[in-house]
Structure 1
């Protein structure tokens, strides 16, 4: 008897996930996808930007080069989409796709609402627009402790502080991404600096500024969103083959999508409003109840936010980190394709 395929929600990562340890990811994991990557290169050439494979194949990682929005975004997209294609359909049935922040663009391609090349074009265009403008910045700060237990009072306290700072004359600060047990905040320099001065340092690294990140998912990005709508046609968007869960937790069902509305959400609301990744994961869990949550590469950093989002959603009775670790050890529910041992459980070996 053939074993039942496991159901899975695929989660696509956003910016900040192609770093020094990920250099060469495309070459290492996807030597069989040279034709796919070659199809992306003319889009880079047309924009006067460095070739994708030259970036991935560089002799050394450079923060100033590889973390730029116009470079990092396409490296992440190519890694994510290639990983998605590598999932073994004989073992795994993908039932829905979601993503974090820029990962929404990747999710559109994985779900079939954008072609692979159109997905790359969207990512390349928006990454370049963000980099060229580089309006504001981002930082990250946790509201849960080491045990990952939900601390609603602490979260409310921090959000009240954000609102107070954002309401000061000459200050801009807002919640950019609700990311599991973390708050990703965005604003101008005055707003970010005021928050940094008002909160205690944690774990010797928070509050953490994110290099080469603009004030994503805030009203400061309105000019970028408008430029994106001018350059990227709604005709690129089609019906998805798989359900898509967006940054509000809304599900876009195959056959029922108004493609102009999907284009508008992607290049308006998604750019200028808070991205609620926690809610997206909660919706994925409660509406699709998958056996697995598969986080595509290139990095492994999004796994913690997925686990925290499940805990915060009281998924299957988990209320703390120890619950998740115990469950993961006995019957894994999270697969990070950036980890070789976990990757092997959902892909076929390369020839």
Structure 2
């Protein structure tokens, strides 16, 4: 296939699981070597944690973020080592945007691993545990959800639409009472489902601004280069080549909605007909197909899925 038709995409929080990439790690040394690099950067054995740790520990935001970034970079490196086609675009969902920027050569891997651990800490401490909530909403259009969140927020606190994942699938987040009120109103308005998510903070809301301020300070000490492959950014669904602007987008992303539908539509408009998800799970592959039925969606998390992806692009 033509390189112009391929994009690689990188998952965000929620895709982590104990034992992920186990078969790839046993089959290809580059996978374990990538985890060893990350372990050196953070000072603990990340591969051991991923294979033998507790799911509860993997789900801690400050652990989840470096673990998923490392898994994605390991798969990206393996893809290149095995002769995989160089994509014309990269994109990642929330945390996955950092993975994309590492793979595009914009941020050094060790810097990114440390940065996203800090990002996780900043996000977790921006709102005390128990005060924030998130919920997935199915079956209403985006404008309706935004409007109902505004109604629910009046007098109860912050609740906002934060992930536009696919048509008819939006995630809302905010303070517990406001999210509960929004769920009640959304169900009354005919939502097929409005269900709380098992997360520990209201990610991508305006409540995350303090985390954004801390991330900006951390980014000031990190070198960001122009990406060698364009990365589509969550904040506006466009690419950006200026390193200063990329830093600003990474800060803004922490307290802004993830516009994944826009990201995928940008890729399709650029001629992409195939996306390959690098890392555990198939969440993005499923969303991408719902956004545009013509897209081919593959993922790489095992030797079999790697072989299938390599066969597909040849």
- Same fold per superposition (TM over 0.5): yes
CA–CA distance in structure 2, aligned partners of residues 26 and 138 of structure 1: 33
> 1:9 deviation in Å?
0.5
CA–CA distance in structure 2, aligned partners of residues 54 and 21 of structure 1: 9
Q: What SS is found at the alignment partner of 1:238?
A: coil
**Of the candidates 236, 249, 253, which is equivalent to residue 237 of structure 2?**
249
Match of 1:8 in 2: 6
Q: What SS is found at the alignment partner of 1:231?
A: helix
CA–CA distance in structure 2, aligned partners of residues 4 and 95 of structure 1: 9
Cα separation, partners in 2 of 1:230 and 1:251, compared to 1, 3 Å: same
> 1:7 deviation in Å?
3.8
**Of the candidates 102, 122, 137, which is equivalent to residue 141 of structure 1?**
137
Number of aligned pairs?
302
**Of the candidates 147, 152, 157, which is equivalent to residue 171 of structure 1?**
157
Match of 1:160 in 2: 147
CA–CA distance in structure 2, aligned partners of residues 34 and 340 of structure 1: 14
The alignment status of 1:37 with 2:29, answered yes or no, reads: no
Give deviations 1:232-273, integer Å, cap 9, x for gaps. Answer: 325421111101110111112xxxx32122111112x11111
Question: Conserved in 2, the CA contact under 8 Å of 1:67 and 1:211?
Answer: no
Match of 1:115 in 2: 108
**Of the candidates 193, 212, 219, which is equivalent to residue 180 of structure 2?**
193
Match of 2:301 in 1: 338
Question: Conserved in 2, the CA contact under 8 Å of 1:6 and 1:92?
Answer: no
> 1:302 deviation in Å?
2.1
Cα separation, partners in 2 of 1:79 and 1:29, compared to 1, 3 Å: farther
The alignment status of 1:303 with 2:285, answered yes or no, reads: yes
**TM-score using structure 2 length:** 0.86
Q: What SS is found at the alignment partner of 1:306?
A: helix
> 1:69 deviation in Å?
0.2
Match of 2:247 in 1: 263
CA–CA distance in structure 1, aligned partners of residues 95 and 139 of structure 2: 23
The alignment status of 1:71 with 2:91, answered yes or no, reads: no
**TM-score using structure 1 length:** 0.78
Cα separation, partners in 2 of 1:23 and 1:83, compared to 1, 3 Å: closer
Give deviations 1:204-252, integer Å, cap 9, x for gaps. Answer: x942322234222111001111111122325421111101110111112
Match of 1:330 in 2: none
CA–CA distance in structure 1, aligned partners of residues 126 and 24 of structure 2: 28
> 1:5 deviation in Å?
6.0
Give deviations 1:298-349, integer Å, cap 9, x for gaps. Answer: 11222211111224xxxx5xxxxxxx7xxxxxxxx2111136544322349x
Question: Conserved in 2, the CA contact under 8 Å of 1:10 and 1:294?
Answer: yes
Q: What SS is found at the alignment partner of 2:203?
A: coil
Match of 1:95 in 2: 88
Q: What SS is found at the alignment partner of 1:346?
A: helix
Give deviations 1:117-150, integer Å, cap 9, x for gaps. Answer: 1221221210122234445232111127xxxxxx
> 1:177 deviation in Å?
0.9
The alignment status of 1:272 with 2:255, answered yes or no, reads: yes
The alignment status of 1:53 with 2:47, answered yes or no, reads: yes
CA–CA distance in structure 2, aligned partners of residues 346 and 274 of structure 1: 31
CA–CA distance in structure 1, aligned partners of residues 164 and 2 of structure 2: 35
RMSD value, Cα: 2.6
CA–CA distance in structure 2, aligned partners of residues 178 and 23 of structure 1: 28
Match of 1:148 in 2: none
Structure 1, gaps ≥5 residues long: 145-153, 317-323, 325-332
CA–CA distance in structure 2, aligned partners of residues 111 and 85 of structure 1: 11
Match of 1:286 in 2: 269
Q: What SS is found at the alignment partner of 2:162?
A: strand
